[in-house]
Amino acid sequence: MGRLDNKVAFVTGLARGQGRAHAVRLAGEGAQIIGVDLAGPLPGVPYDSATPADLDETRRLVEEQGAKAHLAQCDVRDLDGLKAVVDEGVGLFGGLDVVIANAGICIPETWDEVSPTSFRDTIDTNVVGAWNTVTACAHHLVERGGGSVILISSYAGRKVQPFMVHYTTSKHALVGMTRAFAAELGNHNIRVNSIHPGAVATPMGSGQMVARIEETNASNPRLAGMGMTFLNQFVAEPEEVANVAAFLASDESKFITAESISVDGGAQHF
Ligand SMILES: NC(=O)c1ccc[n+]([C@@H]2O[C@H](COP(=O)([O-])OP(=O)(O)OC[C@H]3O[C@@H](n4cnc5c(N)ncnc54)[C@H](O)[C@@H]3O)[C@@H](O)[C@H]2O)c1
């Protein structure tokens, strides 16, 4: 028996990385999976973009867990597109219980390199995309009589990710969004929480990402050590974040809402 038997989950940004880990983990606990990913060129990022083949691989891994998958290429900035995918999935699987707003982008830039375009792209994807996700899903949770919504924020939403004014702004916004939705949706037995990972080993660190971070660090070395952990582990595996998502998705956390949970080895306190 799984902790999410007879449940249905919607995950954004699940072609790879943490989103894929969430989908596979929830599927392993018994949930059917609805999901979207842009699976195409990401605006302005220095790392490699996900592909339709990545999305197919997630589908295969979810089905390997014995779950059903309704996955589509869709941009979280497109509310109507999201609604269509979610509504189709709910039609197939009979309802919706869990929502994980995970899709996001991250562009290392010093404060004076941030452009109107990169600022807007980051806010549109990370903040408007999360609002679109909850908005496309919430009425299905209300109809179900309850549910769990999880917004994937970051260490940058609790402390600061230096050289990312836009990213840090976007991830702090998700803390407010978590509290605001938790307050109103609580009356429908819907819980809303955020997860704040520190560094995670995903393709977000691929391509020119590490080189770009080193370049920005060189502009002000004093800030470079800000993400240090208390533990001797510095980077999480995506599955370690998915463990926390599975807990928040399950009834084991049924009295936890409006909460922000870090998975960062203590980095926010360093
Ligand atoms: N990797 C880290 O160190 C880290 C740390 C803290 C928080 N996060 C956050 O965790 C989440 C997942 O990141 P990840 O590390 O798995 O990165 P990733 O780049 O490997 O995965 C993100 C996925 O989101 C998708 N995506 C991006 N923009 C989209 C859009 N507009 N519409 C639909 N899909 C879109 C991408 O195609 C990609 O598959 C993000 O919100 C990120 O900000 C990452």
Indicate the SS3 state at residue 38: coil
Residue 209 has pLDDT above 90, yes or no: yes
Pocket test for ligand 1, best of 121, 204, 244 (most atoms within 8 A of CB): 204
Segment among 119-123, 165-169, 220-224 with least mean pLDDT: 220-224
Give me the mean pLDDT over the 53-65 stretch: 98
Give 91's pLDDT tier (boundaries 50, 70, 90): very high
**Paired tokens of 192:** 């809303």
Q: What's the CA gap between 73 and 68, in Å, rounded? A: 17
Q: What's the CA gap between 60 and 16, in Å, rounded? A: 12
Write b or e for each residue in 86-99: b if 16 or more Cβ atoms lie within 10 A of its Cβ, otherwise e.
beebbeebebbbbb
Ligand 1 shell residues, CB under 6 Å? 12-13, 15-19, 36-39, 42, 50, 75-77, 102-106, 125, 129, 152, 154-155, 197, 199-200, 202-204
pLDDT of residue 222: 95
Protein residue whose Cα sits closest to atom 25 of ligand 1: 13
pLDDT of residue 1: 82
pLDDT digits (tens, 9 = 90+) for 124-139: 999 999 999 999 999 9
Q: What's the CA gap between 6 and 117, in Å, rounded? A: 43
Question: From ligand 1's centre to the CA of 47, what distance in Å?
Answer: 11
Question: From ligand 1's centre to the CA of 5, what distance in Å?
Answer: 27
Indicate the SS3 state at residue 100: strand
Residue 16 neighbours by CB distance under 10 Å: 24
Continuous segment of H or E residues that includes residue 150: strand 147-152
Under 8 Å between Cβ of 151 and 178: yes
Is residue 155 flagged as an active site residue? no
Question: From ligand 1's centre to the CA of 245, what distance in Å?
Answer: 15
pLDDT of residue 74: 98
Provide the mean pLDDT of the chain. 97
Give me the mean pLDDT over the 251-266 stretch: 98
Task: Report percent pLDDT > 90 for the chain.
Answer: 98
pLDDT digits (tens, 9 = 90+) for 219-244: 999 998 898 999 999 999 999 999 99
Which domains does the chain show, CATH number per domain?
8-269 (3.40.50.720)
Give me the mean pLDDT over the 45-71 stretch: 98
pLDDT of residue 159: 95
